[in-house]
């Protein structure tokens, strides 16, 4: 059982942080300055840490205060959303929805579907971020995320759906192909032919995925002439004739259709990374989360 004592003082603490002073918080809460000060002191005593650094000139949070504030606002936000769900009889998707997407895939493939979803449920207030790193959904208060890569061994507090795999092909510009002639069909020679690769967030080059016949997918790191940490810029570099790259078809399908890129070595085309839809299990029953999971599962599955 959780003691109600743990909740005492939290609303006062958050009000002080957001108002910027004890006096402003007292006015907002319709309390005396003394009552606000005592509530914060009791909270600090219970936690065993100082939440504020008090001087005669200003009020500032300690590191512990900053961390506790982030936790408190997350909890209070969830309580507010729970009230919204109850107020709508738990059936209507409403309220703030935090969504995190991979940068290029999110822009090209997820956002068109998400726009349709938001037009359908206009009472949802989306907050959308784009990042290619793996975010901790609980720590960063994300409701739903789309990820490229990973495995089906996600933490127990994370729900997931496997959406399919990318398809990767080797490609270059028509001009590059005309200048260099036939593309070598051996990995060693191919890797020496002005290879262009994606540079990952940790600074390492992303390998090429190679599959021979029905064998397992192997990873091969070419001696790259060009490493780029942005997928769209990498595509642009290849379009401008700066090398050969292995790229996901979702990233270049428009360039292939317009003839700005040509596929080479089709026998080396292979599946790439898996695509996943992730969410916090604790949020799954919220109508807005459940509706988005269903929508993105239907629209993104490949």
Residue 149 has pLDDT above 80, yes or no: yes
Q: What is the DSSP string of the chain?
A: ---GGGGTTHHHHHHHHHHSSHHHHHHHHT--HHHHHHHHHHHHHHHTS--EEE-SS-EEE-HHHHHHHHHHHHHHHHHHHHHHHHHTTT-S--EEEEEEE-HHHIIIIIHHHHHHHHHH-TTEEEEEEE-SS---TTTTT-SEEEEES--S---TTEEEEEEEEEEEEEEE-HHHHHHH-SPPSSHHHHHTTTBEEEBPTTSPBPPEEEE-TTS-EEEE----SEEES-HHHHHHHHHTTS-BEEEEHHHHHHHHHHTSSEEE-GGG-EEEEEEEEEEEGGGTTSHHHHHHHHHHHHHH--
Structural domains counted in the chain: 3
**For position 87, what pLDDT does the model report?**
58
Look at residues 83, 117, 152 and tell me which one is the last residue of a structural domain.
83
**For position 294, what pLDDT does the model report?**
96
Residue 85 has pLDDT above 60, yes or no: no
**For position 188, what pLDDT does the model report?**
64
CATH code for position 262: 3.40.190.290
Residue 39 resides in a domain: yes
Give percent of the chain with pLDDT exceeding 90. 47
Residue 206 has pLDDT above 60, yes or no: yes
Residue 90 resides in a domain: no
Range of the structural domain that residue 38 is part of:
4-83
Residue 186 has pLDDT above 80, yes or no: no
**For position 259, what pLDDT does the model report?**
96
**For position 191, what pLDDT does the model report?**
61
Average the pLDDT over 147-162 and give the result. 86
CA–CA separation, 239 and 219 (whole Å): 24
The per-residue pLDDT for range 232-275, each reduced to its tens digit, is 999 999 999 999 999 999 999 999 999 999 998 888 889 889 99
Are 130 and 51 part of one and the same domain?
no
Average the pLDDT over 82-105 and give the result. 78
Are 35 and 181 part of one and the same domain?
no
Residue 89 has pLDDT above 50, yes or no: no
Are 66 and 12 part of one and the same domain?
yes
Are 100 and 225 part of one and the same domain?
no
Residue 142 has pLDDT above 80, yes or no: yes
Residue 75 has pLDDT above 80, yes or no: no
Are 124 and 208 part of one and the same domain?
no
Look at residues 51, 83, 115 and tell me which one is the last residue of a structural domain.
83
Residue 279 has pLDDT above 90, yes or no: yes
Across 154-168, 185-199, 265-279, least confident range: 185-199
**For position 241, what pLDDT does the model report?**
94
Look at residues 29, 59, 83 and tell me which one is the last residue of a structural domain.
83
**For position 82, what pLDDT does the model report?**
61
**Better-scored residue on pLDDT, 68 or 181:** 68
Longest dimension (CA), the chain: 82
* Tokens found for residue 92: 């209507």
CATH code for position 108: 3.40.190.10
């Amino acid at each position: 059982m959780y003691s109600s004592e743990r909740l005492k003082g939290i609303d006062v603490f958050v009000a002080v942080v957001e108002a910027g002073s004890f006096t402003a918080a007292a006015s907002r809460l319709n309390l005396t300055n003394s009552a606000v000060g005592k509530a914060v002191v009791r909270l600090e005593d219970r936690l065993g840490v100082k939440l504020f650094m008090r001087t005669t000139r200003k009020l500032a949070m300690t590191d512990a205060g900053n961390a506790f504030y982030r936790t408190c606002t997350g909890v209070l936000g969830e309580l507010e959303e729970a009230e919204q769900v109850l107020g709508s009889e738990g059936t209507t998707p409403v309220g703030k929805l935090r969504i995190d997407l991979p940068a290029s895939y999110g822009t090209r493939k997820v956002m068109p579907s998400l726009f349709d979803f938001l037009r359908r449920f206009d009472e949802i207030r989306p907050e959308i971020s784009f990042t290619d790193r793996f975010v901790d959904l609980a720590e960063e208060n994300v409701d739903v995320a789309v990820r490229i890569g990973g495995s089906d061994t996600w933490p127990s507090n994370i729900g997931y759906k496997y959406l399919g795999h990318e398809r990767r092909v080797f490609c270059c510009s028509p001009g590059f192909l005309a200048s260099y002639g036939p593309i070598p069909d051996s990995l060693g020679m191919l890797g020496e032919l002005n290879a262009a690769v994606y540079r990952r967030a940790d600074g390492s080059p992303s390998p090429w995925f190679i599959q021979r016949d029905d064998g397992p997918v192997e990873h091969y790191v070419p001696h790259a002439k060009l490493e780029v940490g942005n997928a769209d810029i990498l595509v642009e570099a290849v379009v401008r004739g700066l090398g050969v790259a292995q790229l996901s078809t979702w990233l270049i399908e428009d360039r292939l259709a317009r003839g700005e890129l040509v596929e080479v070595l089709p026998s080396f085309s292979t599946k790439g990374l898996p695509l996943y839809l992730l969410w916090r299990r604790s949020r799954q029953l919220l109508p807005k989360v459940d509706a988005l999971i269903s929508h993105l599962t239907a629209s993104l599955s490949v």
